[in-house]
Amino acid sequence: MIAVLSPAKTLDLTTPPPFPATRARFADEAATLAKAASHLTQKRLSELMKISPALAKLNADRFRDFDEAQERPALYTFDGDVYTGLGAATLDEPAVRFAQDHLRLLSGLYGLLRPLDGMRPYRLEMGTRWAPRHKKLTDWWGTRIADALAQDVDADGSGVVLNLASQEYWDAVEGKLPAGIRVVAVDFREADGRFISFHAKKARGMMARWMVEHHVTDIEAMKGFDTDGYRFDAGASDDARWTFGRAA
């Protein structure tokens, strides 16, 4: 089983990572995209990404200096709500090694990352309506991300993807995987049935943590996830989409 997560907009660039970085399979593609993005003006970046002038300047500088930036393992660099739930800093080495084989991080710039794959600071969301010679980033990537994920699923031998990513990032994969691969998506709900984005993002990270801590390789075993009061709701689930709700 391979689980996939979205990346994060916020980055931790100061905490020393406990493991060295491995090479990302799409490192060359990331460099190509970064070079193309380095020609975008701050104003254009601000418009494309819907960010402030200050953030646009920061990211323009990052793209301009991309080749000189230091790489850090992605698992210890992404720092949003999902990664708060994942809590990488407190994972032991066996869990991290398991994650390297069974967890993948989708990325607008790097395509598909293993947790320890090196990344340089960037911001480029998968939904960005820009790419070299294409109208949007998902078109530029084409089937490459899905093909790489399919290779990992094939090597894993399970034939299953646990989709813990947002729809924006799953769009780079959806409809492009071989028919024989089973995809299980997960919804997280509050006790009253509401979907609350912050809690759902954190829960995705917590589920990924539960998987790597328990070395889970069987998708059915994931129904046992019970962190922070979540329980599998069989009545609200089907084969392709599972729902976990919190007890009142």
CA distance 154 to 185: 19
User: For 212-240, what is each residue's pLDDT tens digit?
Assistant: 999 999 999 999 999 999 999 999 999 99
The residues with which 232 forms a beta bridge, in sequence order, are 244
With residue 4 as reference, give the H or E element that holds it: strand 2-5
Q: What is the pTM of this model?
A: 0.96
Residue 20: per-residue pLDDT: 98
CA distance 116 to 75: 6
CA distance 134 to 170: 19
Residue 204: per-residue pLDDT: 98
CA distance 48 to 51: 8
With residue 103 as reference, give the H or E element that holds it: strand 103-107
Are the CB atoms for 137 and 124 separated by under 8 Å? yes
Delimit the domains of the chain by residue range: 2-246
Residue 193: per-residue pLDDT: 84
Residue 59: per-residue pLDDT: 96
Which parts of the chain sit beneath pLDDT 70? 248
Amino acid sitting at position 191: A
Amino acid sitting at position 80: G
Amino acid sitting at position 71: E
